[in-house]
Amino acid sequence: MRVDIQGKTRVLGIIGWPVAHSLSPLMQNAACIELGLDYVYVPFPVAPGDLPKAVEGLRALGVAGFNVTIPHKEAIIGLLDELSEEARLIGAVNTVKRDGDRLIGHNTDITGLIKSLQDDLGFDVKGSRVVLLGAGGAARAALVGLCQSGAASVTVANRTPAKGECLVAGFRSVFTGVNLALCTLDILKGDRCLKDVDLLINTTAVGLNGTNFTDLDLAPMAPAARVYDMVYNPALTPLLVEARKHSLRSANGAGMLAAQGEAAFTIWTGCKPPNGLMKSRLLAALDGQDMLDNGVYSK
Ligand code: NAP
């Protein structure tokens, strides 16, 4: 427990609803303490209707920066003074930095995903063929990150096809060098197209609360193909169990969560957090709980 907060201590935090499950305070405070930086990171529960007041309050209080999680990632955009290129492309903000009187929105989910793919799967996105399950906010971040990192093709499979079409249509003119395509979730039922996929990423909430895709069969995937599940609680989701069954290298989203936190920390403080510290704290905390209450994802 921190007992060294003084008059000059700078405040960082996270806004979301709910926010009590957030593991970010644990990760961020560990890095501040380890580096001897005089910051403290606190959770701020902000109900959806209170977002404008909360952002004005954070401005007035001189908070140095904060993370943004569900349900505010998109709604906060109109309340900020500037957006990074990534945040603008994704249309969502997960990190805000105060710069003088200005609040600048960033999105570190891209950095988080690409770093985790490298660190946890040894996967180089350049030239790869990827299938993305889902078309929500996490899928947008993944699609932008994969395209920026030189993927050859990204195929989106979403439960509601119209949302998948909308996602792909919105980026075709932005990433002209990437083959952006659509398929259905039936691809997971042992479809032969899976043999040409280098990486399968789940960006949906399936896997939380014991949920699963129906008739999951990854047998056609090539032995060198990888499987990544953004869900990290439980650590071994049904998709990852299926990947293991076929000896496919796989990882859950804990590495992404830690890496997006590392990137946010650097944006705020200008310092790199100690190597592996955030991830080890996160994994230790996740080890102690089987499932976030109600399966709610919270940064
Ligand atoms: P979102 O914007 O609400 O999108 C949810 C997506 O999941 C949609 O594509 C939705 O399909 C799909 N979906 C939900 N239930 C489904 C079901 N039963 N069967 C098939 N598809 C289903 O949420 P999000 O922000 O993208 O987050 C999605 C997941 O990614 C969450 O589990 C979150 O925890 C995880 N995530 C992890 C990290 C990390 O750092 N590891 C970061 C971001 C997100 P429809 O369009 O058909 O509704």
Please give the distance, rounded to the nearest whole angstrom, from the Cα atom of residue 207 to the centre of ligand 1: 10
Backbone angles phi, psi at 28, to 5 degrees: -70, -40
Which atom of ligand 1 is found nearest the CA of 159?
47
Q: List Cβ neighbours of 186 (8 Å cut-off, separation of 6 or more).
A: none
Q: Whose CA is nearest to atom 11 of ligand 1?
A: 159
Q: Whose CA is nearest to atom 7 of ligand 1?
A: 204
Residue 297: pLDDT band (50, 70, 90) is very low
Asked if the structure places residue 4 within a domain, the reply is no
Testing ligand 1's pocket by substitution, the residue of 110, 184, 203, 250 carrying the most ligand atoms inside 8 A of its CB is 203
d(CA 249, CA 288): 25
Same domain, 247 and 270: no
Same domain, 140 and 234: yes
Reduced to 3 states, what is the DSSP secondary structure of residue 242? helix
70's enclosing H/E stretch is: none
d(CA 235, CA 169): 33
In this prediction, residue 1 carries a pLDDT of 64
- pLDDT tens digits along 6-57: 999 999 999 999 999 999 999 999 999 999 999 999 999 999 999 999 999 9
Asked if the structure places residue 299 within a domain, the reply is no
Q: Whose CA is nearest to atom 36 of ligand 1?
A: 230
- pLDDT tens digits along 266-292: 999 999 999 999 999 999 999 876 443
Asked if the structure places residue 60 within a domain, the reply is yes
pTM of the complete model beyond 0.75:
yes
Same domain, 124 and 211: yes
115's enclosing H/E stretch is: helix 109-121
Same domain, 123 and 54: no
Kindly report the CATH number assigned to the domain that includes residue 268: 3.40.50.10860
109 in contact with ligand 1, CB cutoff 6 A: yes
Please give the distance, rounded to the nearest whole angstrom, from the Cα atom of residue 123 to the centre of ligand 1: 22
Supply the residues annotated as catalytic: 73
Kindly report the CATH number assigned to the domain that includes residue 245: 3.40.50.720
Asked if the structure places residue 264 within a domain, the reply is yes
- The stretch 106-123 carries a mean pLDDT of 98
Same domain, 125 and 161: yes
CB 256 within 8 A of CB 268: no
157 in contact with ligand 1, CB cutoff 6 A: no
231 in contact with ligand 1, CB cutoff 6 A: yes
Task: Let me know if 207 is exposed, middle or buried by CB neighbors in 10 A (0-12, 13-18, 19+).
Answer: buried
Same domain, 38 and 129: no
160 in contact with ligand 1, CB cutoff 6 A: yes
In this prediction, residue 221 carries a pLDDT of 98
In this prediction, residue 293 carries a pLDDT of 36
Asked if the structure places residue 195 within a domain, the reply is yes
Domain span at residue 230 reads 110-251
Please give the distance, rounded to the nearest whole angstrom, from the Cα atom of residue 134 to the centre of ligand 1: 6
Same domain, 208 and 125: yes
Please give the distance, rounded to the nearest whole angstrom, from the Cα atom of residue 231 to the centre of ligand 1: 9
- The stretch 150-175 carries a mean pLDDT of 97
44 in contact with ligand 1, CB cutoff 6 A: no
Starting at the edge strand that comes first in sequence, how are the strands of the sheet with 199-202 ordered? Answer: 179-183, 153-157, 129-133, 199-202, 226-229, 249-252
253 in contact with ligand 1, CB cutoff 6 A: yes
158 in contact with ligand 1, CB cutoff 6 A: yes
Which atom of ligand 1 is found nearest the CA of 256?
40
Residue 294: pLDDT band (50, 70, 90) is very low
Question: Comparing 293 with 215, which gets the higher pLDDT?
Answer: 215
- The stretch 121-129 carries a mean pLDDT of 98
Q: Whose CA is nearest to atom 31 of ligand 1?
A: 205
d(CA 139, CA 167): 9
Give the chain's domain count. Answer: 2
